Amino acid sequence: MITSFDGINLYSKDPAALAAFYSEVLGVPIPFEGFGQYDGAKIGFDRSQPGLIIWDESKWGKHTTGVVNLVFSCSSLDETYEQLKGKGLDCQPPVTMEYGGKEMNFRDPDGNGITLLEGGYLEV
């Protein structure tokens, strides 16, 4: 039976650039740098916790079977928005949603959707 959730596989033409986006622009740690050239790199807050696993699509193929949207939480979405704009990210300001939390949506360099939350889905 299933015992845990390990993460989400993302396939990229440039795994090093995608890893740099998540670590340098969004500030998400890289607890495992992969097996060379960031192939198999894990992006997340702890190597033993679920995370994003980046693979080199030129080696493994592009195994996307549907739309991917990654969701991260933050304590102050307005501050995060200003920080990301300062790093050159082209994104719209956060909006307050029907459920009461704030969201901000944008895409990573490979086109995967990203949602940042303040006051996440389960907190309302």
| 124 residues of the chain, pLDDT tens digit each | 657 778 998 999 999 999 999 999 999 999 999 999 999 999 999 988 999 999 999 998 877 666 678 889 888 999 999 999 999 999 999 999 877 889 999 999 988 889 898 876 544 4
Rounded distance between C-alpha atoms, residue 118 and residue 123, angstroms:
9
DSSP 33-66: -TTTTTTTEEESS-TTS-EEEEEEHHHH-----S
Pairing of strands 113-118, 102-107: antiparallel
Contact between 19 and 54 (Cβ < 8 Å): yes
Residues comprising the chain, all counted: 124
